[in-house]
Amino acid sequence: MYSQLEVKYTRLELAGQKAEMKFQNETLRVQKFENTFFQLINLYNGIVHSMDIKTHLKSETGRDCFKLLFENLKETIEDYKRSLNNGNKVSNKEILVGYTFFYNNYVSDLSNYFRTVYHIIKFIKSSDIKTKNNTHLF
Q: Residue 34: which domain range?
A: 2-132
Instruction: Give the residue-averaged pLDDT of 62-79.
Output: 86
**Residue 117, amino acid:** V
Instruction: Give the residue-averaged pLDDT of 119-132.
Output: 86
Residue 60, strand partner residues: 53
Assigned domain for 137 exists: no
Q: Which residue has the higher pLDDT, 135 or 58?
A: 58
Domain count, the chain: 1
Assigned domain for 44 exists: yes
Assigned domain for 100 exists: yes
Residue 90 near residue 77, CB atoms below 8 Å: yes
Assigned domain for 53 exists: yes
Assigned domain for 43 exists: yes
Nearest CA to 42 out of 119, 133, 122, 125 is that of: 119
- What is the tens place of the pLDDT at every residue in 93-110? 778 887 888 899 889 889
